């Protein structure tokens, strides 16, 4: 068995807002530098991109390759409820069969910008069609407040979305807004394999592979990937790597008007607020769960302006499931880390990850220590420290789980508190 780092959800030139550099050549080049072995093609049902993929990827036995990087045929599809689904397909024949099956249900399947097609089908119907082609389907970015299965006022279970096809759904994409701990608040999801992927619109090193999952497999083929997702025959995920959800814009619950974020504290004091937050107190887990249910029903008002509170990603998962996360034995470790280029920018105190000084240090670290993924996950901290002490401090904090954040919410991004700042407080 070998271990393969995989980013299974990206987009092509034929999706809106995507870099013109998003070609197979540039994706493969960036993936190699990053340390990714297996990458989803994205947008496989778009006809121009499909033709390009057929001419750009070399078929070797049951795998597809460009240069030294393997590819899996993938797409993202939006159903009639505006829910996004990740679809993994075994070969080009399956892609063509899927296109035929969706042709009469999609207004933009053949559109120039139809990389992520919309279909007039519910999740159950779409999942059945994908299964008929030999593909796999699962919810995309399952907890984001927009276009996701578990967004507010949408589904509270897999079954209500996928119906009779639920047992054939074997994976869920966490998305940038969630991690394993958040998803494992929901008992129904604990049987699934979680994938972490970038949803990249650019091949730049702080986009492609900013989230990825490591699988143990015999080879980077679709059949082996399916076994790994199903956790069969000794195959399976061994590591999830992604951004800490606290960095996201919708992690914390928030006021729908003033955008103050909700902090739940233990106690029985009256609600209060300051410039950034509102504070509500509960005495136990049961009260907390009841509070979240009331927020979902818009029965809890902001103490600052009297407008209804709304659930953030973390609290939405807890409201659907349980206040306490319980991960199953098969769940692999989750490393919460930012892309190396972003870590370097914070360490150097520069505003842009694309600055010359950040890129120079990034290239030096890669030349001396290998791929970016190796630097973030396995390179000895002492070796990193010899190149840059602050980068070493940040990576150590990510690895050992001591990184501190100002959590985001209400449309406000969270931010990392660098270790050297928190030490002085």
**Picking from 95-104, 292-301, 409-418, which range would have the lowest pLDDT averaged per residue?**
409-418
| Cα(330)–Cα(43) distance, integer angstroms | 31
What mean pLDDT is predicted for residues 25-38? Answer: 96
In angstroms, rounded to a whole number, what is the distance separating the alpha carbons of residues 391 and 321? 37
Whether the per-residue pLDDT at 324 is higher than 90: the answer is: no
CA-angle at 357, arms to 20 and 33, nearest 5°: 50
Query: In this structure, are residues 268 and 283 in contact, taking their beta carbons and an 8 Å threshold?
Result: yes
pLDDT at 424: 43
The answer to whether residues 192 and 327 touch, using CB atoms and an 8 Å cutoff, is: no
Give the closest residue to 231 by CA, choosing from 197, 192, 196.
Answer: 192
**Domain spans in the chain, listed from the N-terminal domain onward:** 2-244, 254-311, 337-422
What is the radius of gyration, based on Cα positions, of the chain?
A: 22
Cβ(145)–Cβ(313) under 8 Å?
Answer: yes
Q: How sure is the predictor about 425, in pLDDT bands with cuts at 50, 70 and 90?
A: very low
What Å distances lie between residue 291 and 114, 222, 270, 418, CA to CA?
41, 44, 14, 33
pLDDT of 146:
85
**Cα–Cα distances in angstroms (integers) from residue 91 to residues 4, 64, 216, 358, in the given order:** 19, 9, 21, 40
Does the structure show a pLDDT above 70 at 406? yes
User: pLDDT digit string (tens) for 188-229?
Assistant: 999 999 999 999 999 998 899 999 999 999 999 999 999 999
Q: What is the pLDDT averaged over residues 79-99?
A: 98
Q: Check whether 171 has a pLDDT greater than 80.
A: yes
CATH superfamily of this structure's domain 2-244: Metal-dependent hydrolases (3.20.20.140)
Q: What is the pLDDT averaged over residues 157-171?
A: 98
- Of the pLDDT bands very low, low, confident and very high (cuts 50, 70, 90), residue 139 is very high
pTM: 0.92
pLDDT tens column, 369-401: 999 999 999 999 999 999 999 999 999 999 998
From 60-64, 78-82, 129-133, the region with the lowest mean pLDDT: 60-64
Q: Which tokens hold the place of 230?
A: 């199903």
Mean pLDDT value across the chain: 94
């Amino acid at each position: 068995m070998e271990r393969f780092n995989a980013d299974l959800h990206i987009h092509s030139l034929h999706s809106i807002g995507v870099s013109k550099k998003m070609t197979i050549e540039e994706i493969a080049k960036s993936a190699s530098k990053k340390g990714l072995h297996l990458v989803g093609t994205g947008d496989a049902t778009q006809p121009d991109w499909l033709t390009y993929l057929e001419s750009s990827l070399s078929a070797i036995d049951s795998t597809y390759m460009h240069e030294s990087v393997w590819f899996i045929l993938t797409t993202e599809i939006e159903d009639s409820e505006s829910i996004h689904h990740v679809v993994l397909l075994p070969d080009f024949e399956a892609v063509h069969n899927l296109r035929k099956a969706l042709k009469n249900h999609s207004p933009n399947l053949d559109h120039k910008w139809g990389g992520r097609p919309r279909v007039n089908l519910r999740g159950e119907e779409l999942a059945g069609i994908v299964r008929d082609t030999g593909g796999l389907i699962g919810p995309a970015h399952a907890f984001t407040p927009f276009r996701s299965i578990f967004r507010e006022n949408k589904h509270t279970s897999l079954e209500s979305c996928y119906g009779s096809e639920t047992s054939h759904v074997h994976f869920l994409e966490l998305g940038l807004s969630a991690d394993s701990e958040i998803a494992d608040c929901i008992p129904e999801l604990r049987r699934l394999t979680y994938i972490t992927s970038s949803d990249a619109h650019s091949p730049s090193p702080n986009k492609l592979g900013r989230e990825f999952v490591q699988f143990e497999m015999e080879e980077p083929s679709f059949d082996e990937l399916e076994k790994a997702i199903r956790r069969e025959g000794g195959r399976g995920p061994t590591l999830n790597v992604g951004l800490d959800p606290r960095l996201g814009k919708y992690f914390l619950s928030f006021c729908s008007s003033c955008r103050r974020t909700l902090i739940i504290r233990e106690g029985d004091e009256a609600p209060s607020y300051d410039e950034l937050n509102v504070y509500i107190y509960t005495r136990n887990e049961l009260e907390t769960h009841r509070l979240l249910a009331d927020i979902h029903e818009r029965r809890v008002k902001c103490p600052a302006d009297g407008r209804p509170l709304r659930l953030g990603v973390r609290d939405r998962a807890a409201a659907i499931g349980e206040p306490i996360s319980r991960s199953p034995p098969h769940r692999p470790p989750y490393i919460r880390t930012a892309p190396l280029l972003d870590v370097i920018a914070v360490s150097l105190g520069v505003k842009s990850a694309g600055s010359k000084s950040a890129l120079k240090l990034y290239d030096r670290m890669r030349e001396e220590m290998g791929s970016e993924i190796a630097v973030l996950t396995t390179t000895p901290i002492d070796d990193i420290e010899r190149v840059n002490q602050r980068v070493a401090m940040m990576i150590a904090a990510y690895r050992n789980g001591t990184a501190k954040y100002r959590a985001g919410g209400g449309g406000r991004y969270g931010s990392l508190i660098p270790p050297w700042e928190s030490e002085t407080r």
